[in-house]
Amino acid sequence: MIVIICALLAVGAIGFTLLVRERDIPPAPVENPELKHLETRRQVLYENLKDLQFEYLQGKLSEADYQSVKSGFLNDLAGVMASIEQLLSGKEMAGKEAAAREPVAPQGPASKGPGGSVICSACGAENPGQHRFCGQCGAALSESLAE
Ligand SMILES: [Zn+2]
């Protein structure tokens, strides 16, 4: 009887450990080879930066050398991070696209009419937003926008 209880406890412990371990795994699964490659590059760049800093602190590098090499690494790192973000956000977008597409808010001054047109205050004619003078009466359209 005790043997059975021990066995059950052991199985339970193993199962619990597996569950916890599974939860500890980071949420983003690295199945994309491109992403994996980028993650590796990021890791390498971090290592390089650490080494560089170490060498600099040991006096093996001049301040100028250190700064120039470091900025090069940081540049690469920024590029890698941007690529990773792009990949991840691209994935997210693909998932969200089916759910709901957020309408893009139209940009431009509030004084402009719908479709970026400007209503002439003199004659009421509708003019394209980029026009500075009314096509009907020649009145200045940019008057209300100026300054
Ligand atoms: Zn007009």
Three-class secondary structure assignment of 7-58: HHHHHHHHHHHHHHHHHHCCCCCCCCHHHHHHHHHHHHHHHHHHHHHHHHHC
**Given this model, what pLDDT does residue 117 score?**
85
Report d(CA 133, CA 120) in Å as an integer: 9
Of the two residues 14 and 147, the one the predictor is more confident about is 14
Report d(CA 51, CA 68) in Å as an integer: 15
φ/ψ region of 93 (left if φ > 0, alpha if ψ in -120 to 50, else beta) reads alpha
- The answer to whether residue 42 scores a pLDDT higher than 60 is yes
- The rounded Å distance from CA 130 to ligand 1 centre is 15
Q: Which of 23-27, 41-45, 79-83, 110-114 has the lowest mean pLDDT?
A: 110-114
- The answer to whether residue 106 scores a pLDDT higher than 60 is no
Beta bridge partners, 117, equal 128
- The rounded Å distance from CA 140 to ligand 1 centre is 8
Of the two residues 111 and 5, the one the predictor is more confident about is 5
Distances (CA, A) of 18 to 13, 24, 48: 9, 10, 35
Percent of the chain with pLDDT over 90: 41
Report d(CA 69, CA 32) in Å as an integer: 30
Residues with Cβ–ion distance below 5 A, ligand 1: 120, 122-123, 125, 134, 136-137, 139
Element (H, E) at 98: helix 63-99
Which token pair is 101?
Answer: 């597409």
**Given this model, what pLDDT does residue 113 score?**
52
- The answer to pTM > 0.85 is no
- The rounded Å distance from CA 128 to ligand 1 centre is 12
**Given this model, what pLDDT does residue 10 score?**
72
- The rounded Å distance from CA 127 to ligand 1 centre is 8
**Within a 13 Å sphere around the CA of 49, how many CA atoms are in the beta-carbon half?**
15
**Given this model, what pLDDT does residue 143 score?**
47
- The rounded Å distance from CA 136 to ligand 1 centre is 5
- The rounded Å distance from CA 135 to ligand 1 centre is 7
**Given this model, what pLDDT does residue 39 score?**
94
